Structure 1
Amino acid sequence: MLKNLTMNKKLIAISLLFVCLPVLLLGTYWYNASTETIEESTIASNQRIVTQTTEYLNLYIAGLETSTYPSLSGASIQSLINSRSLSPYAYLKLSESIEKGIFAQMLYGRDDVVGMSLAAKNGFVVSDYTRAPELLNMDQITHQNQLLLEKMERMDDFHIEGIRYVGSEPVLTVTRKIPSNQSYLFEGLLIVDLHLSQIAGICKNVSHHELEIWITDAHSGQVIYHPEQTRIGTSLSPSLVQELTSSKTGLLHEYETDLPNILLYEHSSQTDWVVALEQPKDAVIGELLDLRATAIYFFACIMIVTVFILGGFSLQISRALSLLERLMKRVQTGDFSLPITTMTERRDEIGKLFRSHAHMVGELKRLVKEVQSAKLKEREHELAQKESALQAMQSQINPHFLYNTLEVINSHAIIENNEVISKMTTSLADLFRYNLKNAHQIVTLREEIGHLRAYLDIQAARYRKLRIDIDLNALDESMLHHVYLIRLTLQPLAENAFIHGYQNHRLPPVYIGLTLSTEEDRYVLHMKDKGHGMSEEKRMQLNAYFQQAPASQAITSNGIGLASVHERIRLSFGDAYGLYIASSNHEGTHIEVRLPRRMSWT
């Protein structure tokens, strides 16, 4: 497998296989083993902290559960939940009795109680939030209590509801269902809102600056307590809740936080809470990371020394071969320039190779110039022949005699008021005057269309059913001066349509059309007729001829036919432009004239 690689790749492969891989495997094994040992020790120590915190929280909730039970069977509470109707005075007396009884006992016996409410199914509510630190909206509290009362049937006798807000302060809400001594059914609900200071104190007593203990409800995923105040009352992601409740205790690496932290957790079945201890991973394996950095540095030094030892001479050779490869690719793209290099001055095999390459490039450059010169002369000779043929045709008629004769004919036509003859003689004069100019001259589309219209006006006089359709809506009027083509491009194409599309098949000329379309880098003129077209084989043969560069002599054309028009366009604008027969069949012929959008002709 190595024999197919370059020298650089072989050097890298050998270094990786015999140096890097063994060191990497050994380092990985050492790192994983030491990390596992340190983590196990740290987890064992932190597990005791989590277990201790969980036990303290269980005792705290158990004490709260005990303190809310004895007074529920008192006469005042039973009267309130069993009454179907009360006068305002009776309701006031019962409220005062409850507030001075169980409410006073709870509010002044415990520092963590923010407020209490007693809500009965019969609609009576007693609340005391005098210890709240701010002015409260009691309607909001009453509404929250009503929602708790509605789901009382689904609660346990003593139920930890979770976090809700009393004013702007988050509180832990617990409830105790109150049974009736008459119906023996639960007819009321005692609602106690607790300040989180007691829970915060329990968590802070067993933690330090590198540890964070937070509590979440295993059922809803709501955060009960967190050192960051803003996260209290928020909800964890369902995936994290599922991980935290999958077992009684567990460990999560790099869970959903911005930093790679370790999360040790324990699930309490008594409170249905999950106590989680979060610790930055760096605090656990910080020293190990330092050792790893030292090992990586040592490994890098070994690699550098190894590469220098193994690759000194090989890299020198590979650089020379790479340079030679780049030079040969430049020759492949037609660039025969030789950059200045000291490789040719070497006295070893590399120097000989570079000198041979330089000699080869010089010979190739000379041969290419000879071939290009020969082809250029051939094309110039061909163009000269076509120009001579065109000039010979143009010189067959004496211009001055022709113009004078046509002028006399036009004068008689005007005198006789014969507009048809006058128009024909004027068009014919314009036609000959345009033809006598240099056939290789570059003109605007406006000039060439004027010449085409003169020719088609004469043909329209001959053929009454002929319809002429010149639609150049693709350009506005001013742009006709910015589309350039070779003189005598369009008229020969139209004449070719009359001769080969109509006359040779004894068909009356009925349609000649010219339209223009624009593409990204060129304009395309479309000349169409409705005569009898050529065979598909002939169309493909002509298109193949048009696409050859330089032009093939396999197809000949007399006068200034399609081949002449195509060659003059290509010689002036480049090989990317010229004629293309888009379609030709019994319904007509469609010829495209491809012209440049930017003037860069030769």
Structure 2
Amino acid sequence: MNRLLARLSFSNSISIRTILLSIFLLLMIFPLVVITFVTYKKEAQLSQKQMSQYLLQTVEQSHRALDANLSEIDRLTWALVYEQSLQFIDGTQESAYLLFDANQKFKDLVYSKLFRGRLEHIRAIYFITPDGNVLSTDNSFYSISQVNEHNYKEVIQEVDRRPLKMSWFTEQQAIYRAEVGFQTPVRASVTAARRLIDSNTGQLRGYLFVQFNDLFLKEYLDKVQIGATGSILVSANNGDVLYQQNPQLLHNDKVNEVIKSLSSESQGLQVVDENWLLASDSSPISGWKMTALVPLDELQGSSQTILRYLLIIAIFGAVVSVIVSFLLATAISKPVIHLARLMSFASKNNLHVRDELGSIREIGMLQVNFNLLMERVQQLIHENEVQQKEKREALLQALQMQIHPHFLYNTLDMIYWMSKKHKADSISKLVTALGRFFRFTLSSGQEWTTLGKEIEHVENYLQIQSFRYRDKLSYDINVDPSVSAVPIMPLILQPIIENAIEHGISKSPDGGIITVSAHRAEDRVCISVENTGLPINVEYANRLMDDPSATDHLGLRNVQQRIQMAFGADYGISLSPGREQGTIVFVSIPYAH
């Protein structure tokens, strides 16, 4: 039944190989997974940060370059302020001929001198005097009545608000639009306008309007590359789109809403609709907003590539970890499993088995101890067999010698009846005590007796010794009846009393008294043997109790060893000087029923 229970308990247990393999795999694969995940996350964050910074820098650089282009247009018009080149407009109201002549001179001025290197970007240039005269490079525009009054008022108000700077307006804010007669590849785009004043008198000479075609922005901004699928867009403060690389982006309502909500001073990065990264920058010159939009998937493309490589490395590392873990678990568990099998085999009385030492130090120590244990068990079994053999031989000898005690008892019994016949009471008492003494001594081969029987044996012994020493020895025995049944080894008190008579009473000229008492003290039984004879060296005798090489007081040391072997080191005997003279021996044993 016990073996069945043991097998059931072991069947539910986990093998050391499984535990080691699980631990090794956990220690190897878990850090690998964590490192892969953390590396991917950190690399993705770093890559996205770098791409975002690159995107923002591209927008900023593109916008600065565009602003430089706008500043160049502004610089070209400063010649009209500091030079007396507009005198031809004086007197244009006097006749149509003078107005026509002034218009020709205006065309020659702006085409041949001011904007000679930028003509491919210019669609038309207008100049409107405070009196309402119109000078234009566009032959279809010749009268102030042709302008869009609403746009013209807004443009003039904005220009007057910034009198020393050139203002920029969208195509929707143009003051003049030619009637559509036929399609042309050159389309109107943004318009630059500024006030022209006389630098000497400060008098307003008029308003200059430079209308650019779509090549003005497209020729430059088409070269800006925003990733592989990104797009760039330039818009005015009022939301009008000036340029866009990919018109399809404006079909996304959330993107369009975010772009329109950008302030004139907005700059930075933001994620739109969780799918787009938007970088924006505003121009301090024109107030235009340049926006770059790129899909987040494109920014994460390099991260996905790195993730694939990391996964390949992680899978390879996991395979290597499994192989290494399996080999390590096998190398460690194999000698342990083999040792466990040897122990199981040895438990079936196969004590001759021995294990070979392995290369692992700790397991080698187990193997050495196992071999030593097997040798010790065999040695103990051999010693036990020898002891059992000797015990059987001693028992046989005891059976063969049983006739001698019977002969002794019969002889003592004959002496007892002869002393009764001749009325020698003292001899009969001596013979009776001697018979009891021999009976207890011959039966002392038993392992345990009671304290009451031990006291009775001591009393017989003292009675016999009192006949020997006559008037020199007297004794007194006081035993609490509650401790009479306490178990004790036989012949514990006799060696103590014998030692007291030999070293105390016999050597005293006046003899002495031996007092034996026993009582219970909590969980102990305290026995004292006191003699009033000559005292002994108590300190010397106490030291000899723990000295196995000493030759004095062998009886006391034997009693001490027997008590401590049976009850433990907390019990035993101790000596102290007598109350008047002599010596007291205290014996302590546990109280038990």
Normalising by the residue count of structure 2, what TM-score does the alignment of the two structures yield? 0.38
From the CA coordinates, give the structure whose radius of gyration is larger. 2
